[in-house]
A and B are shown apart, each in its own frame.
Chain A
Amino acid sequence: MSRKYHVTTTVNGDEYEYLCEPQQTLLDALRDALMLTGTKEGCATGDCGACTVMVDDTMICSCLMLAVEADGKKIETIEGMAQGEELHPLQRNFLELNGSQCGICTPGILIAARALLDRNPDPTETEVRYWLAGNLCRCTGYDKIIRSVLAAGKEMRGA
């Protein structure tokens, strides 16, 4: 059995500790050690975006970061997106406009879309499409995802 490493990290504002093997990814740690299964594995090679999370305010594929590298870092996942009973405008618009079909890609897309709106509150359709080009969805054909993000942006701008 390979040696395990002790990691201390902040996830959605709470301090967590876990033990991980050196080859394990942050995605493995989130799902298997912390049971935060909202972050999904679609490919484990950084091609589908289902495992998208924020690490120190940077958007990453958690399957491409080693679990040990998360030591001392601030991590944000889908589980921390709603504030109490208040859904994030993106979550609400995805519900109302049916931006989620089967739902497996939805957590990654929501995290990515929030990262976009945080830096560009008024993106064009093309900007949303290119920003989300790293997040595969096989159900929707993207139409309702793009519309949900644009509507959430508009709402957040108070436009």
Chain B
Amino acid sequence: MSTILDKSGFNPDKKLKIVGSSPVKHDGIDKVTGRAKFGADLFLPGMLIGKILRSPHPHAIIRSIDTTAAESLPGVKAVVTRVDFPELPKGSVAGDMSRNAMAREKALYDGHPVAAVAATSESIAKQALKLIKVDYEALPHVIDPIDAMKPAAPILHDHIRTKGVKDAAEKKTNVVERLELKMGDVEAGFAQADVIVEHEYDTKPMHQGYIEPQGCVATCTEDGQVELWCCTQGPWVFRDRLTEILKIESSKIRVTQSELGGGFGGKTGFYAEPIAVLLARKSKRPVKIVLTRGEVFRGTGPVSGTRSRIKMGVTRDGKITAADADLVFQTGAFTGSMFFNAPQAMFTRYDLKNVKTVSYEVVSNRPKVNSFRAPCVPQVVFGVEGVVNELAQKIGMDPLDLRIKNAATEGYKTIYGETFGPIGFLETLIAAKNCDHYKSPVPKGQGRGVAAGFWFNRGGETTGTLNIATDGSVTIILGTTDVAGSRISISMMAAEELGIPVDKVRAVMADTHALGWNRITAGSRTTYSSGMVIIDSARKAITEVCRRAALIWGVPEEGVVFEDGYCRPASSNVGEFPPLSIAEIAGKTTLTLGAIAGHSEMNVTGAGPGFGVHIVDVDVDQELGRVDIKRYTVVEDAGKAIHRLQVEGQYQGGAVQGIGWALNEEYVYGEDGRLQNPSFLDYRMPVASDVPMIDTEIVEVPNPRHPYGLRGVGEVPVTPTMAAIANAIGAVIGVRPRSLPMSPPKILKLIEEARAAR
């Protein structure tokens, strides 16, 4: 039987009434009135406050932890340390997760949790933390990934042997994996090139920077049933991981997601949640833990810093012949950076036959990295798109023309094995070339940069339910998290299918007891995958609506058709009946067969790849080295923009995050291995006065695997940003920066070097 996955019903000529408009999102009213409940906003009777004690050492053996004094402080109801966590093997996935949540044998970074307390007030909890005595034996530490690869480097984990290396069996190392990915023959490819450009690049870890610190409330009954309220991008994944590391059956853990105050990948993994559950289990009282901003910086996932060497060759007439790269990814104290995305995506968008990449993932004494929009890809696109621009410059070609000439199109077989279906890279490049920004002359004294980016877009395991109420209005239960307007977009698609106004639809995010398993909300999969599941549910509900109409009319089911929200007789042979609306049919369900609903669970496939091009004009203060973003345009293929304002918001937000990464944001460590800038004052994210309006152009090359043609749009907008800005800076100062962030001291140094060379 065919399903929506192989028969989407995509019809480019279909007149759409709702999809493609921009109705006010239904959850918006709660957000502008302060009603919306985020992670920190739940209060329960008898609730305790949990606080976490964190290691001040980047690397230390924990000899002993004495909690006696803390436990006897009046008001303290529970203390947990490593002894409260079930034993799990070192180096196993669960073992690493558990050890990141609470240090065991060693503390592995400044900010690594070592103990926690729950008390009747925050001030008592803080006082109790001071009474916990931890006996550390400080060890030499290593922060920089290149240093961590050296033979004499301090070793973080005894069990790591480099994966992907033959003779690695006996050697302790910080290199988790070596991954080689190649296609074609790079040497032959470079032999055909007339111009070869090769450079080294480095990028620094940045933080996802969500404004809502992680917050959760856990409860646990005497018979071991756990309820967890938290801000998360993956309630089911949180539940499963709690099951694994705390050895509690999944059916006894109910995770309820709050509104999410920003995540961008950083809330795909848990931090304080298992600690809150253990404190609740010990105290038998609700326990709330809300991280401070300092804890967010020191203890939660930043983004991988990288070192890379990138080499590409081109013929005089503009055909790129080969690409070669060595990449090093810093993953923090534990593996899990998803570095493998980078070699798969970094060159993918160009019609390349000869590619070779060697990638390394390296542990060092920093917090374990977490996902961020297009995990591990923007860092290396920074280099690739710089090299591409330089190739264009050297052969005297317009940088967009070179990309147009080398754009991958339908039928291209990628390095990761997928053969592209219909994609919109070429259309996006042409739209960029024809947009007002690119056609306008570069203002005097400024520089213009362009860069392109790609993301796979994802599908994955998704469940959902659509219920038709007896008055014909509709409720939707989603298993994915609404990170930026997916509830309204999915409601719009349901309304379009059902032929009813979108105001008659309301969508909620489910808890883990309410639906089957859902993959995390990440990788630009949500509006696509949950949309597929809910469209499928709507179609099932429509089949049922038709069946009820047949019952009401006393005609065979095939005698009923559904059009624009109404059941009608399929032909005059069926009989003369006035059309029945969904509301009229739903109002008679007591007389027919009971409630009408649709439900669907799928491992969604068919996500359409996304491509974007950024254009930026910058001004560089030659005395201060400060870069000012003067004009910015994002051109990106959305397949089909379901809710146009939401899509624009994704483009604009991604670009400004990239501007921060490009110009300011980085983790700064002292010689002592401690993070020196764990605050919004010293970790400088873009503010409103730093940036201009971000112009957007939505390209729509439909993905026919989706009923309305959509592609994910969340990841692509940050992939080309840093490269585009670097190219623009290069156009002003004559030398393209190759190290992030492109902060004033670095730019000033480049200006001075360029002056000296003249």
A residues apposed to B, CB below 8 Å: 1-2, 21, 23, 28, 31-32, 35-45, 47-48, 50, 77-79, 81-82, 87, 91, 94-98, 100-107, 110, 125-126, 128-130, 132-147
**What CA separation (Å) do A81 and B29 show in the bound complex?**
12
Q: Which residues of B contact A133 (CB under 8 A)?
A: 687-690
**Cβ of A110 and Cβ of B32 under 8 Å apart?**
yes
B292 partner, pick from A44, A125, A129, A146, beta carbons under 8 A: A44
Q: Write the nearest CB–CB distance from A153 to chain B, whole angstroms.
A: 15
B462-485 interface code vs A (CB 8 A; 1 in, 0 out): 000000000000000000000111
B residues apposed to A, CB below 8 Å: 22, 24-25, 27-38, 40-41, 43, 74-75, 121-124, 208-213, 259-262, 264, 290, 292-293, 483-485, 645-646, 648-649, 652-657, 679-681, 685-691, 693-694
Q: Write the nearest CB–CB distance from B515 to chain A, whole angstroms.
A: 22
- Assuming A79-B34, A143-B694, is B657 touching A138 (CB within 8 A)? yes
**What CA separation (Å) do A106 and B41 show in the bound complex?**
15
**Cβ of A140 and Cβ of B653 under 8 Å apart?**
yes
**Cβ of B33 and Cβ of A141 under 8 Å apart?**
no
**What CA separation (Å) do A73 and B260 show in the bound complex?**
33
**What CA separation (Å) do A137 and B264 show in the bound complex?**
13
- Assuming A50-B211, A136-B687, is B656 touching A141 (CB within 8 A)? yes
Q: Which residues of B contact A137 (CB under 8 A)?
A: 211, 688
A-B contact pairs, 14 of them (CB 8 A): A42-B212, A42-B680, A43-B680, A45-B293, A87-B32, A95-B29, A96-B24, A102-B31, A102-B212, A103-B32, A104-B261, A132-B687, A140-B649, A146-B693
- Assuming A23-B123, A78-B34, is B693 touching A143 (CB within 8 A)? yes
The list of the 5 closest CB pairs from A to B, nearest first, reads A38-B34, A103-B31, A104-B261, A141-B656, A47-B680
Give the interface centre of B30, B43, B124, B261 by most chain A CB atoms within 10 Å: B261
**Cβ of A138 and Cβ of B211 under 8 Å apart?**
yes
- Assuming A134-B687, A136-B685, A144-B648, is B290 touching A41 (CB within 8 A)? yes
Q: Closest residue to B36 on the A side, CB-wise?
A: A103
Q: Write the nearest CB–CB distance from A14 to chain B, whole angstroms.
A: 15
**Cβ of A43 and Cβ of B34 under 8 Å apart?**
no
**Cβ of A21 and Cβ of B123 under 8 Å apart?**
yes
Q: Write the nearest CB–CB distance from B77 to chain A, whole angstroms.
A: 14
Q: Which residues of A contact B75 (CB under 8 A)?
A: 1
- Assuming A43-B293, A50-B211, A128-B688, is B259 touching A103 (CB within 8 A)? yes
Q: Which residues of B contact A21 (CB under 8 A)?
A: 121, 123
Q: Write the nearest CB–CB distance from A83 to chain B, whole angstroms.
A: 12
Q: Closest residue to B681 on the A side, CB-wise?
A: A47
**Cβ of B649 and Cβ of A144 under 8 Å apart?**
yes
Q: Which residues of A contact B33 (CB under 8 A)?
A: 38, 78-79, 81-82, 87, 91
Give the interface centre of B22, B122, B209, B680 by most chain A CB atoms within 10 Å: B680
**Cβ of A48 and Cβ of B680 under 8 Å apart?**
yes
**Cβ of A106 and Cβ of B652 under 8 Å apart?**
no
**What CA separation (Å) do A110 and B29 show in the bound complex?**
13
Give the interface centre of A134, A143, A146 by most chain B CB atoms within 10 Å: A143
**Cβ of B34 and Cβ of A107 under 8 Å apart?**
yes
**What CA separation (Å) do A45 and B683 show in the bound complex?**
13
